[in-house]
């Protein structure tokens, strides 16, 4: 495994962690509950929907 | 864009219609109260796109429940272009009660006579033309379930929305007409919108209206004083309701022609006589719940294994005399012959015989067993390595050099030597070969020792697939540095796969729960449990959010909005996490599997079922405690319309399962993936940021942090007593606060690095990683059960905590809730560990509980006396 690939592996790992954390923070600030439990059974899905509409606007 | 609102009674098919019109996948349940907030979607077949708003089910526009407030506020404040009033045609009269109220608003109204297929099935007919004539609004026959009549409904709704409509009331032909007319004129003069609706509500003494029109109240009271009624006196709410029902009975009910007027029991009634029986109702529910768990988790579906059907006598023969030797005469490490004449070794665990393991031999290219190795000169060798431990060049008796070796199954292998350099075993060259050699039909179906349940078969299939993937990755990274292969194979794949392999069982469990819910059975369970819950201070209505908690605590907590009493709602939110959600399922299943595999105790399905029941029992006990101390309050009456039983919709079930799978996988590849990466890094770096080998993991940052918290968990059985790797349990419990799946993902990431019995760089499945942790720490069965109980009852994931914060009435209540979760989990887990380890501690706990009960009783008596005095 070349040094380049090793560096790439570390960069990918850091990107995944940072990406997940940032996306969670953004979603949270937009009012989307990061529940991951499935919108179809969630009575709060309209809150997410309103957040998405705001985002579009 | 036009906006149409869907309004109707609970469980009349609004959400089914909403899904059919908008192509949405909103949750449809065969019980009233599924929708507690409005949902929006778009219908595109009209001349212009139409926004459809699905409102919660309501019986009236009076503000009795939170759903009624949501629906009323939306209709009055947001002013939709049209209201589609969905009427359950099988319950026409009762459903039209809401219709009479909706029609009082100045908005176009269209009536959807839904469930017409059911009406026709019963042999009844409805004259919709006559109903339309009498209501003076369009009426369309529909079946949301079969998607019939929907285009016609939307066409007529769109046409109605283009013309303004003034509200009309059936009360105009009642004795109240003058009173309402006077109030209406007064409100109209003040420029109030929807004057007829507000006038009727003011006459009814509606709490919201009286608050809104305080200045008009004296005038209305004057009007009311001129009115008299012999039956209802001055109860205007009852007067209005009575007038509405009288009008409905007189003018609307005749539009329905029933096939037979004679009373007869429906199929639902007949089923209910058994399922909602006052004695057998609860045992039947427990049996059904057990069957669900048995079909999902059992490794002995028909109990044939437990009955000994698959037991075979262990037969071995003497290598010298060839005589048969009985199992009780085996000695540890002795060599015998099996039925095929192959050499086998008796393996013991302590004094207990375990199995007859084949004696390892290496084979040559032609498949001949190698019984002796020679050097180039033809001397037989016993030590096969040089001074530096390198394997010597080995020859057969004829002087041919061995280039490659094979095992009995023909897989290419290398020779494994002991410390003296003598032949000990053969080892696979390829990780993939090693993995494939262990796969048999028995791996999936278990036919050799029992019959697996469908859930276990699906689990084994996915577990084998993920195992193969990690073997391929391990082989592909064979030349990579140890840290890189460790990170990818142990860390990332180990963590991910240990959780992902439970997906089939989670989906199967959900399928069963959805079947029970959609068929209408769960609504019955709420009814059955109401009798028990009521004694403990909760109504049966609180059961629905709790049942939703089996899926996810977040929608369950949101669903508590249907509970009108704040104290009841707070108590319900606090106990919802005790109903084990799907994220906790891998913890239960993996540890239950680990207990069965390592200790040979019980059945995985029974342990999982028992833990689910434990959650329910803890929830009930916690509610009793809360409702008899700090959260005392009246239990509101529980009135729920029992839906008719029907076969669940295949499409709705599949949509639900697909949605669940999608979100589970998404969660695995985001939050769990990120967590496993972080866990692997901080478990392989020291405080001074030096990379650590697997064997040095105890010096890592993670071990340091876990070690700090370890003593706290000692009374729970997974603290300081577990030795050097005990911190893994503490870390797993803490990472579970991010997402509960992380508990098993943490085991998956770290267990493969603890090389005590397993090969390094091998991504372990969930159960295997638990077995590995048991081997490494020596944790006991009570401590493992306590660990499950702790994770089930402690603070839920961050998302659920945030939802609880939003749903609870104030900050103080939220802080108390956090404290409640921590205290409950600590007490429950320590009780399980201590009683499980030292049975006599049960007496101490019993004494403490007795003192607490006595204290509560005394406190309540004093409290009651104080209140009586004050009164």
Structural domains of chain B in order of their starting residue, each with its CATH number: 2-257 (3.40.50.300), 316-443 (no CATH)
Q: Is residue B102 within 8 Å of residue B7, measured between CB atoms?
A: yes
Cβ within 8 Å, pair B481-A42: no
If you measure CA to CA, which chain A residue comes closest to B555? A42
Q: Is residue B432 within 8 Å of residue B468, measured between CB atoms?
A: yes
- Kindly tell me if the per-residue pLDDT of B536 is higher than 80: no
What is the pLDDT confidence band of residue B333, given thresholds at 50, 70 and 90?
A: confident
Torsion sign across C-alpha atoms B116, B122, B125, B126? negative
Cβ within 8 Å, pair A33-B37: no
Which among A9, A28, A41 is the top mutation candidate for probing chain B, defined by the most B β-carbons within 10 Å of its own β-carbon? A41
Picking from A1, A35, A42, the nearest residue to B484 by CB comes out as: A1
> Cβ of B548 under 8 Å from any chain A Cβ?
yes
> Cβ of A39 under 8 Å from any chain B Cβ?
yes
> Cβ of B666 under 8 Å from any chain A Cβ?
yes
Instruction: Tell me the C-alpha to C-alpha distance, in Å, between residue B94 and each of B89, B264, B331, B356.
Output: 10, 20, 80, 73
Q: Comparing B677 with A48, which gets the higher pLDDT?
A: B677
Q: Is residue B549 within 8 Å of residue B768, measured between CB atoms?
A: no
CA distance B25 to chain A (A): 5
Task: Enumerate the residues of chain A whose CB falls inside 8 A of the CB of residue B555.
Answer: 35, 37, 41-44
Alpha carbons A43 and B581: distance in angstroms, whole number: 16
Residue B281: how many other CB atoms lie within 10 Å: 19
Tell me: the pLDDT tens digits for B587-621? 999 999 999 988 888 788 899 999 999 999 999 89
Give the mean pLDDT of B130-152.
92
Cβ within 8 Å, pair A40-B659: yes
- The pair of three-digit structure tokens given for residue B276, joined into one six-digit string: 């909602």
What is the pLDDT confidence band of residue B439, given thresholds at 50, 70 and 90?
A: confident
What is the pLDDT confidence band of residue A31, given thresholds at 50, 70 and 90?
A: low
Task: Enumerate the residues of chain A whose CB falls inside 8 A of the CB of residue B802.
Answer: 28, 33
If you measure CA to CA, which chain A residue comes closest to B483? A6
Cβ within 8 Å, pair B487-A13: yes
- Kindly tell me if the per-residue pLDDT of A44 is higher than 70: no
Picking from B559, B660, B799, the nearest residue to A35 by CB comes out as: B799
Q: Is B86 helix (H, G, I), strand (E, B) or coil?
A: strand
CA distance A25 to chain B (A): 12
Q: Would you state the pLDDT for residue B231?
A: 67
- The pair of three-digit structure tokens given for residue B121, joined into one six-digit string: 């099935």
B181 phi/psi in degrees, rounded to 5: -60, -40
Task: Enumerate the residues of chain B whose CB falls inside 8 A of the CB of residue A39.
Answer: 25, 659, 663
- The pair of three-digit structure tokens given for residue B458, joined into one six-digit string: 């699906």
Tell me: the pLDDT tens digits for B237-272? 888 888 899 889 888 888 888 876 566 677 888 899
Report how many domains make up chain A. 1
- Kindly tell me if the per-residue pLDDT of B314 is higher than 50: yes
> Cβ of A22 under 8 Å from any chain B Cβ?
no
> Cβ of A57 under 8 Å from any chain B Cβ?
no
Task: Enumerate the residues of chain A whose CB falls inside 8 A of the CB of residue B664.
Answer: 36
Alpha carbons B96 and B172: distance in angstroms, whole number: 16
Domain that holds residue A36: 3-56
Picking from B211, B218, B233, the residue whose alpha carbon sits closest to that of residue B183 is: B218
Number of residues assigned to chain A: 57
Tell me: the pLDDT tens digits for B727-773? 999 999 999 988 898 999 999 888 877 754 444 445 567 788 898 88
Torsion sign across C-alpha atoms B630, B632, B633, B638? positive
Alpha carbons B496 and B744: distance in angstroms, whole number: 9
Q: What is the 3-state secondary structure (H, E, C) of B463-487?
A: HHHHHHHHHHHHHHCCCCCHHHHHH
- Kindly tell me if the per-residue pLDDT of A53 is higher than 70: no
Mean pLDDT of chain B: 86
Q: Is residue B359 within 8 Å of residue B336, measured between CB atoms?
A: no
Q: Would you state the pLDDT for residue A48?
A: 52
> Cβ of A7 under 8 Å from any chain B Cβ?
no
DSSP state at residue B77:
I
CA distance A15 to chain B (A): 9
**Which range among B169-178, B196-205, B220-229, B780-789 shows the weakest confidence by mean pLDDT?**
B220-229
B501-532 residues labelled b (16+ CB within 10 A) or e (exposed): bbbbbbbbbbbbbbebbbbbbbbbbbbbbbee
Cβ within 8 Å, pair A41-B484: no
> How are beta strands B412-417 and B139-141 bridged, if at all?
unpaired
Give the mean pLDDT of B2-31.
81
Token look-up 């529909």 returns B142
If you measure CA to CA, which chain A residue comes closest to B23? A40
Within 13 Å, how many C-alpha atoms sit on residue B283's CB side?
Answer: 5
Tell me: the pLDDT tens digits for B687-722? 988 888 888 888 999 999 999 999 999 999 999 988
- Kindly tell me if the per-residue pLDDT of B505 is higher than 60: yes
Which parts of B69-114 are beta strand (E)? 82-88, 109-114
Picking from B109, B116, B120, B124, the residue whose alpha carbon sits closest to that of residue B147 is: B116
> Cβ of A52 under 8 Å from any chain B Cβ?
no
Picking from B371, B373, B375, B339, the residue whose alpha carbon sits closest to that of residue B356 is: B339
Which among A18, A36, A48, A57 is the top mutation candidate for probing chain B, defined by the most B β-carbons within 10 Å of its own β-carbon? A36
> Cβ of B651 under 8 Å from any chain A Cβ?
no
> Cβ of B217 under 8 Å from any chain A Cβ?
no
Cβ within 8 Å, pair A36-B739: yes
Task: Enumerate the residues of chain B whose CB falls inside 8 A of the CB of residue A47.
Answer: 37
- Kindly tell me if the per-residue pLDDT of B232 is higher than 70: no
> Cβ of B657 under 8 Å from any chain A Cβ?
no
Cβ within 8 Å, pair B480-A38: no
Burial class (CB in 10 A: 0-12, 13-18, 19+), B107: buried
What is the pLDDT confidence band of residue B138, given thresholds at 50, 70 and 90?
A: very high
User: What is the H or E stretch that residue B620 is in?
Assistant: helix B604-627
> How are beta strands B109-114 and B2-8 bridged, if at all?
unpaired
- Kindly tell me if the per-residue pLDDT of B102 is higher than 60: yes
| CB-based contacts of B244-251 (< 8 A; 24+ apart in sequence) | B244/B97, B244/B100, B244/B101, B244/B170, B244/B171, B245/B93, B245/B97, B246/B174, B247/B100, B247/B170, B247/B171, B247/B173, B247/B174, B248/B93, B248/B96, B248/B97, B248/B100, B248/B170, B249/B93, B251/B134, B251/B170
**What is the residue-wise DSSP string for B562-584?**
G---HHHHHHHHHHGGGS--GGG
pTM of the shown model: 0.81
Task: Enumerate the residues of chain A whose CB falls inside 8 A of the CB of residue B23.
Answer: none
- Kindly tell me if the per-residue pLDDT of A42 is higher than 60: no
Cβ within 8 Å, pair B663-A16: no
B33-62 residues touching A, CB cutoff 8 A: 34-40
Cβ within 8 Å, pair B666-A46: no
Instruction: Tell me the C-alpha to C-alpha distance, in Å, between residue B197 and each of A37, B85, B107, B108, B225.
Output: 40, 16, 11, 14, 21
Would residue B61 be called left, alpha or beta, if left means φ above 0 and alpha means ψ between -120 and 50 degrees?
alpha
Give the strand order in the sheet containing B324-325: B324-325, B316-317, B335-337, B343-349, B352-358
Picking from A1, A37, A49, the nearest residue to B480 by CB comes out as: A1
Alpha carbons B477 and B168: distance in angstroms, whole number: 77
Alpha carbons B91 and B525: distance in angstroms, whole number: 22
Cβ within 8 Å, pair B38-A46: yes
Picking from A33, A41, A49, the nearest residue to B803 by CB comes out as: A33
Picking from B856, B862, B303, the residue whose alpha carbon sits closest to that of residue B626 is: B856
A to B CB pairs, distance under 8 Å = 108
- Kindly tell me if the per-residue pLDDT of B528 is higher than 50: yes
ipTM (interface predicted TM): 0.83
> How are beta strands B109-114 and B82-88 bridged, if at all?
parallel
């Amino acid at each position: 495994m070349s040094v380049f690939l090793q560096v790439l592996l570390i960069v990918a790992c850091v990107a995944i962690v940072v990406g997940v954390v940032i996306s969670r923070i953004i979603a949270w600030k937009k009012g989307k509950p990061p529940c991951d439990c499935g919108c179809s059974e969630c009575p709060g899905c309209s809150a997410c929907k309103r957040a998405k509409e705001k985002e579009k606007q | 864009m036009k906006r149409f609102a869907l309004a109707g009674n609970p469980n009349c098919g609004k959400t089914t219609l909403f899904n059919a019109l908008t192509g949405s996948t909103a949750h449809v349940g065969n019980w009233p109260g599924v929708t507690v907030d409005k949902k929006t979607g778009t219908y595109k077949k009209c001349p212009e796109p139409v926004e459809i708003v699905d409102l919660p089910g309501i019986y009236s526009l009076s503000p009795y429940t939170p759903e009624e407030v949501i629906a009323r506020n939306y209709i009055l404040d947001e002013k939709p272009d049209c209201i589609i009033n969905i009427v359950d045609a099988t319950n026409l009269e009762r459903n039209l009660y809401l219709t009479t109220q909706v029609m009082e608003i100045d908005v176009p109204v269209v009536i959807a006579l839904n469930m017409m297929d059911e009406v026709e099935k019963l042999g009844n007919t409805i004259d919709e033309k006559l109903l339309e004539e009498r209501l003076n609004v369009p009426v369309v026959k529909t079946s949301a379930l079969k998607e019939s009549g929907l285009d016609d409904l939307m066409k007529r709704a769109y046409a109605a929305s283009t013309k303004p409509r003034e509200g009309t009331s059936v009360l105009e032909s009642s004795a109240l007409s003058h009173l309402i007319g006077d109030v209406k004129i007064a409100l109209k003069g003040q420029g109030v919108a929807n004057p007829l609706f507000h006038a009727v509500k003011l006459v009814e003494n509606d709490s919201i209206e009286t608050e809104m029109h305080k200045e008009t109240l004296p005038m209305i009271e004057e009007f009311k004083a001129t009115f008299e009624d012999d039956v209802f006196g001055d109860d205007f709410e009852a007067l209005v309701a009575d007038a509405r029902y009288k009008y409905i009975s007189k003018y609307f009910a005749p539009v329905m022609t029933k096939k037979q007027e004679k009373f007869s029991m429906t199929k639902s009634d007949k089923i209910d006589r058994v399922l909602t029986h006052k004695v057998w109702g609860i045992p039947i529910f427990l049996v059904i719940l057990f069957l669900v768990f048995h079909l999902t988790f059992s490794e002995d579906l028909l109990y044939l294994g437990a009955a000994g059907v698959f037991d075979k006598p262990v037969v071995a023969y003497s290598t010298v005399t060839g005589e048969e030797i009985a199992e009780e005469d085996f000695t540890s490490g002795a060599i015998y012959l099996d039925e095929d004449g192959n050499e086998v070794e008796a393996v013991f665990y302590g004094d207990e015989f375990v199995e007859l393991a084949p004696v390892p031999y290496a084979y040559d290219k032609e498949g001949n067993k190698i019984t002796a190795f020679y050097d180039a000169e033809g001397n037989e060798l016993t030590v096969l390595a040089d001074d530096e431990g390198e394997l010597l060049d080995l020859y057969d008796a004829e002087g041919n050099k061995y280039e490659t070796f094979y095992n009995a199954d023909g897989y290419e292998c290398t020779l494994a030597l002991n410390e003296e350099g003598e032949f000990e075993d053969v080892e696979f060259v390829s990780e993939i070969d090693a993995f494939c050699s262990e796969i048999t039909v028995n791996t999936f179906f278990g036919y050799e020792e029992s019959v697996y349940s469908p859930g276990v078969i699906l689990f084994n299939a996915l577990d084998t697939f993920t195992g193969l993937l990690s073997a391929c990755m391990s082989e592909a990274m064979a030349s990579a540095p140890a840290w890189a292969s460790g990170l990818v194979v142990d860390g990332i794949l180990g963590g991910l796969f240990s959780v992902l392999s439970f997906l089939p069982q989670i989906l199967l469990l959900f399928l069963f729960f959805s079947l029970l819910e959609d068929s209408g059975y769960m609504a019955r369970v709420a009814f059955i449990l109401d009798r028990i819950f009521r004694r403990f201070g909760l109504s049966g209505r609180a059961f629905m959010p709790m049942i939703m908690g089996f899926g996810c605590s977040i929608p369950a907590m949101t669903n508590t909005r249907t509970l009108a009493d704040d104290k009841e709602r707070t108590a319900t939110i606090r106990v919802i996490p005790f109903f084990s959600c799907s994220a906790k399922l891998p913890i239960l299943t993996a540890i239950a599997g680990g207990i069965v595999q390592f200790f040979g105790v019980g059945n995985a399905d029974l342990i999982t079922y028992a833990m689910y029941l434990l959650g329910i029992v803890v929830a009930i006990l916690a509610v009793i405690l809360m409702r008899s101390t700090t959260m005392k309050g009246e239990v509101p009456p529980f009135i729920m319309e029992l839906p008719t039983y029907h076969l669940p919709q295949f499409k709705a079930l599949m949509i639900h399962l697909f949605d669940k799978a999608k979100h589970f996988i998404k969660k695995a590849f985001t939050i769990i993936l990120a967590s496993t990466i972080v866990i692997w890094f901080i478990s392989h770096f020291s405080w001074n940021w030096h990379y650590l080998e697997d064997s040095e993991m105890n010096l890592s940052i993670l071990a340091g942090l876990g070690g700090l918290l370890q003593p706290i968990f000692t009374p729970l059985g997974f603290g300081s007593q577990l030795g050097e790797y005990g911190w893994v349990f503490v870390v797993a419990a803490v990472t579970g606060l991010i997402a509960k799946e992380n508990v098993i993902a943490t085991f998956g990431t770290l267990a493969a690095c603890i090389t005590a019995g397993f090969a390094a760089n091998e991504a372990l499945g969930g159960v295997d990683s638990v077995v590995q942790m048991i081997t490494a720490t020596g944790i006991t069965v009570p401590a493992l059960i306590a660990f499950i109980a702790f994770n089930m009852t402690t603070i839920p994931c961050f998302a659920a905590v945030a939802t609880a914060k939003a749903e609870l009435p104030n900050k103080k209540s939220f802080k108390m809730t956090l404290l409640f979760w921590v205290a409950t989990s600590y007490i429950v887990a320590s009780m399980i560990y201590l009683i499980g380890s030292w049975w006599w501690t049960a007496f101490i706990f019993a004494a403490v509980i007795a003192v607490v009960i006595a204290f509560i009783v005394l406190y309540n008596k004093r409290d009651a006396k104080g209140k009586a005095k004050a009164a």
